[in-house]
Structure 1
Amino acid sequence: MAQVIARIPLNYRTFEENVGFSDDPAYFTDIVFGFLEEQEGSSESSCGSGDYIEEDEDEISLCNIEENKKFWDTQNQLLQATLYRTSSLEAKIRQATKVTLKEIDGVGMYCLCGKSVAGACRDCLQREISIRLQNEGYNCAICKSKWKRSEGIPSGEHTFLEVVEKLNSKKGEVRVVIELNFRAEFEMAKANEEYNHLINQLPEVFVGKAERLKALIKILCSAAKKCMKEKKMHLGPWRKHKYMQSKWVGTCERTTPAPLPEGLSDRPAKPRASMLTYDLLENLPVFHRTAVRVL
């Protein structure tokens, strides 16, 4: 596993070009989750083995520093291994999503709720992306997940985009999740430097299989728990693994939005001129007379 990680590029901008790994979901799950379990099973180091009775405070402090460094190094390697591995299907949908967002940003869109996209109208933006991806031939829908309060986890709901690709009869279908605010979902105001380093590597827009998303959630939630423990702070229930997983993994209600009725444009309406702002000097013919500017 160490050899695989050592070859992973450190620049996220080259993510889409690094597609040399196997597309088999079982291969990916075995590597990532197997390595996580191996790390969890070996978490008890010689520093806490209990083979000695008396311990020097400096030795204990040094031991904790080494263990913390090892943890964050491991999380960083796992995160990169999960992010930089991609399949041809994910790369294709990711590129289509990127093109769609660029088009929307360039021409604008008609927002049904009266807000502009720049004002973070998430619902209308998701709707527009879903319609455009459908036009490109993708089975894209808006998914709304809901979960009830249980075991100290508060209830909640979340919306995201999902593309379902049907495979042959043996493999069934593949779910590809599109989350438009992925990095923001894991940001914490009082996080330490190590946690922020992990978060800064996340893409703003995540496009990937559900299996990859599960692995990322486990890595980041484990890091959040460690971060709060080091700072001696309580980890909010909305930051825990079960809550975060409920957002994207599990049952959800799929809605396939229909395009706007014919005659309605998806572009912003052209603003009308007002006599309060109309510049008479620029629009009047050139005569030898004095014009008065209306204020």
Structure 2
Amino acid sequence: MGSLTEEQLLQMVRDFIESESESEPKSESLSTSNALSQDHKPRCLTLQEILRDVTDIEGDILQKTLKYAKSVESTESTSNLKRLVVMKLKMDGYEASLCKTSWVSSADRLQVFPYGSEYEYIDVMTREMNGGKATRIIVDVDFRSQFELAKATTGYKELTDMLPSVFVGSEAKLNKIISMLCSAAKESLKEKGHHIPPWRKASYMQSKWLSEHCKKISIPANLE
């Protein structure tokens, strides 16, 4: 998928601000709350199935990433940890890169995008035997926090608690998680009487990891 343009991002912000000013939050009816509760259990089971579907390569990369993370001081920044993981994976023979997605910042936008104007994650390109098709594996060492809400319903919190802190998986798997969690976030915010902000929509979340326009940062395998 393509990345969101600056104008699209700004329009998302404008639409959100206008919707907030035009209407007051309304409490949901009991029937709506009951409907959300009925949808929660199958959604949890589906998320479990998605997370349990792990290939051998994904399992190996996850095991190595967790090992590298444990070897780092707790005071180390997340950015430095990502660079260390890339370096170690490259030393293990993986085609790993640090990827950065970004967009032009403005003072107005920083007021509504609390996570700033860029995002870093790791990708690993793997190939099947005999020069087969390359598969992109995404690694994020701070995954769960990207979906957490400050004032979430119990059902939504159960979903985010199921997410791993360290994610390793394919683009298809990540897309399924984004779609499910953003839908659940919308319901959670609505039940609490809030509009969904632009940065909680699926299109924005997808732009973090699935943008075709991302910068790969070169990190040597022997970096100390």
Equivalent of residue 180 in structure 2, options 203, 208, 219: 219
Q: CA deviation at 1:119?
A: 3.2
CA distance in 2, matches of 1:72, 1:157: 32
Gaps of 5+ in 1: 1-60, 106-116, 267-295
- Could you give the per-residue CA deviations for residues 48-107 of structure 1, whole angstroms, max 9, x where no partner exists? xxxxxxxxxxxxx664344212221232122111111111111111112122223x23xx
Q: CA deviation at 1:167?
A: 2.8
Q: Given that residues 140 and 256 in structure 1 are in contact (C-alpha distance below 8 angstroms), is that contact kept between their aligned partners in structure 2? A: no
Kindly provide the amino acid, as one letter, of the partner of residue 148 in structure 2.
E
Match of 2:158 in 1: 197
Equivalent of residue 73 in structure 1, options 41, 50, 67: 41
Could you tell me the TM-score, scaled by structure 2's length? 0.75
Q: CA deviation at 1:172?
A: 1.8
- 1:125 paired with 2:86, answer no
Kindly provide the amino acid, as one letter, of the partner of residue 220 in structure 2.
A
User: Greater CA radius of gyration, 1 or 2?
Assistant: 1
Gaps of 5+ in 2: 1-28
- 1:1-295 alignment to 2 at 5 Å? 63-102=31-70, 104-105=71-72, 117-147=73-103, 156-167=117-128, 172-251=133-212, 252-259=214-221, 266=224
Q: Given that residues 131 and 259 in structure 1 are in contact (C-alpha distance below 8 angstroms), is that contact kept between their aligned partners in structure 2? A: yes
Q: Which one has the bigger helix percentage?
A: 2
- Aligned Cα root-mean-square deviation (Å): 2.6
CA distance in 2, matches of 1:216, 1:95: 21
Q: CA deviation at 1:256?
A: 2.6
Distance 1:242 1:85, change over 3 A: same
Q: CA deviation at 1:260?
A: 5.7
* Deviant stretches of 4+, over 6 Å: 152-155
Q: Given that residues 130 and 161 in structure 1 are in contact (C-alpha distance below 8 angstroms), is that contact kept between their aligned partners in structure 2? A: yes
% same residue: 31
Q: Secondary structure at the match of 1:178?
A: strand
Higher RCO (CA 8 Å, separation ≥ 6 residues): 2
Kindly provide the amino acid, as one letter, of the partner of residue 256 in structure 1.
S
